[in-house]
Amino acid sequence: MIRFLLNKDIVELPDYPTDLTVLQYLREYRKTTGTKEGCAAGDCGACTVVVATVAPDGNNLHYKTINACIALLSSINGKQLITVEYLATEQGLHPVQQAMADFHGSQCGFCTPGFVMSLFSLYHNQVNPSREDILHALSGNLCRCTGYRPIIDAALFACEKPKKDRFDQLAQQTIETLNSLAEKQKADLATSGLMLPKDRESLRLCIEMHPEAPLLAGGTDLSLEITQKLKSFEHIISLFEVSELKQIEIYADYIQIGAAVSLSEMSGTLLQYFPQLKDVFYRFASLPIRNQATLGGNVANASPIGDMPPVLMALGASVIADNGINERTLPLRDFFTGYRSTQLADDEWISKIEIPLLTKHAKLAAYKISKRMEDDISAVCAVFKVEVSDEGLITKLATGFGGVAATPINCPALETALVGKNWQDKAIVEIGKEILLNAFTPIDDVRASAQYRKTVLSNLWERFWLEQQQEVIFKTRVIDHA
């Protein structure tokens, strides 16, 4: 049974297709057509809806955007699903709607409900956001008509001094309802094809029962099998509610992040320890995708163009694999065995990722290069971490790259060649560039040519070196989010 709050109404669905998306549910089952389908692939944001959950303190609601087109019902189970139709009241439009209309933020209007929902989430999450915050919040919403300027203005105006809205007024009531749904849920066994194990043991049993069923984390990639390739799944095992996979633990010299932690939650923690990753996190997919996609998913997916594996590789992270009985630790640099394949056994899942913290001697940078700044897949992702002794000698170099091989990969040749050399010596720029230029044999594809990937990879080493030199005062990036 899936239970959730659709705006103000409790919905209980005993029977539904395993691979039904939230968007299909809204448009085809409920005939509520305010939420639009633009791409059915999580790329345009026309289907953006907001999911509200009870905050850990139990007194507040958390609002976050997701793409309804690639969300299965598991992602709204036990939550409040808020759609565009519910924002206006009899007293009038919601302030974000009013601003969008008054600032001429809609032309054809097809993307508008999605923008409105992203703005609604921003309205509840941030008072007086900066222009950059707004771009960040709306990075997953495409508009083909306006050129965005009026939408940015509408956002600045509406969110400058947010007043309490109906959602604030009803918050306690909503929290109580969601808590009561959670109570019911506890007693509920997953009977439908979409299985929602709550803990490690029940996850193990689900896999044992349905070894053919795919594991669903955020589902931002698996859903494309359904919406784009028209595949049908009888059983899917959702990791969404497995409590062991949702933890973030911080130790003296490392951090453990549960595999089902969303990229948004993860980046909040990681940026405290690795502020150098801001540029990559800022450009990594879009906010609704990061709200939904998980760290474990980005790693287990083993895509050569995922952005977390290069980061984790350079940081020396390890994967904790679990089969419900035994856990084992696998260094990430050995984890990928081929194109979209890993060391995970059939009955294993990633339970967490362990990331060592930086030593005081470490210099770190992560670069993402793509055709478009926001919400694009990397042509190249490059992460460098160098440790330099007090004498200025390189003691350790670690790397991680995406988009240059069949798997996320590091460059042992570079990592060993420069140890012992003087970091300030300009000669190491050319040595590093030469090694990287010939280290990999990437492919030509729709994003970039092989030659471009090689050249850029090599040039990014130069950028890294330049940026770590203290006397360098000139700009090295056209847009610097760091």
**Pick 273 or 452: Cβ nearer another protein:** 452
Shortest gap between Cβ of 135 and another protein (angstroms)? Answer: 5
Q: Does 474 engage in binding with another protein (CB under 8 A)?
A: yes
Site for another protein in 223-252 (CB under 8 A): 228, 230
Q: Does 428 engage in binding with another protein (CB under 8 A)?
A: no
Q: Does 68 engage in binding with another protein (CB under 8 A)?
A: no
Q: Does 482 engage in binding with another protein (CB under 8 A)?
A: no
Q: Does 455 engage in binding with another protein (CB under 8 A)?
A: yes
The residue range among 296-304, 396-404, 407-415, 439-447 that interacts with another protein, by the rule CB under 8 A, is 439-447
Q: Does 87 engage in binding with another protein (CB under 8 A)?
A: yes
Shortest gap between Cβ of 378 and another protein (angstroms)? Answer: 12
Q: Which of 36, 235, 385, 454 binds another protein (CB under 8 A)?
A: 36
Shortest gap between Cβ of 317 and another protein (angstroms)? Answer: 26
Q: Which of 127, 147, 420, 430 binds another protein (CB under 8 A)?
A: 147
Shortest gap between Cβ of 61 and another protein (angstroms)? Answer: 21
Q: Does 477 engage in binding with another protein (CB under 8 A)?
A: yes
**Pick 150 or 296: Cβ nearer another protein:** 150
Q: Which of 61, 66, 82, 143 binds another protein (CB under 8 A)?
A: 143
Three-class HEC string of the chain: CEEEEECCEEEEECCCCCCCEHHHHHHHHCCCCCCCCCCCCCCCCCCEEEEEEECCCCCCEEEEEEEHHHCEHHHHCCCEEECHHHCCECCECCHHHHHHHHCCCCCCCCCHHHHHHHHHHHHHHCCCCCHHHHHHHCCCCCCCCCCCHHHHHHHHHHHHCCCCCHHHHCHHHHHHHHHHHHHHHHCCCCCCCEECCCCHHHHHHHHHHCCCCCEECCCCCHHHHHHCCCCCCCCEEECCCCHHHHCEEECCCEEEEECCCEHHHHHHHHHHHCHHHHHHHHHECCHHHHHHCEHHHHHHCCCCCCCHHHHHHHHCCEEEEECCCCEEEEEHHHHEEECCEECCCCCCEEEEEEEECCCCCEEEEEEEECCCCCCECCCEEEEEEEEECCCCEEEEEEEEEECCCCCCECCHHHHHHCCCCECCCCHHHHHHHHHHHHHCCCCCCCCCCHHHHHHHHHHHHHHHHHHHCCCCCCCCCCCCCC
Q: Which of 152, 271, 413, 437 binds another protein (CB under 8 A)?
A: 152
Q: Does 447 engage in binding with another protein (CB under 8 A)?
A: yes
Site for another protein in 343-402 (CB under 8 A): 369, 371-377, 379
The residue range among 164-172, 244-252, 337-345, 443-451 that interacts with another protein, by the rule CB under 8 A, is 443-451
Shortest gap between Cβ of 240 and another protein (angstroms)? Answer: 24
Q: Does 65 engage in binding with another protein (CB under 8 A)?
A: no
**Pick 10 or 101: Cβ nearer another protein:** 101
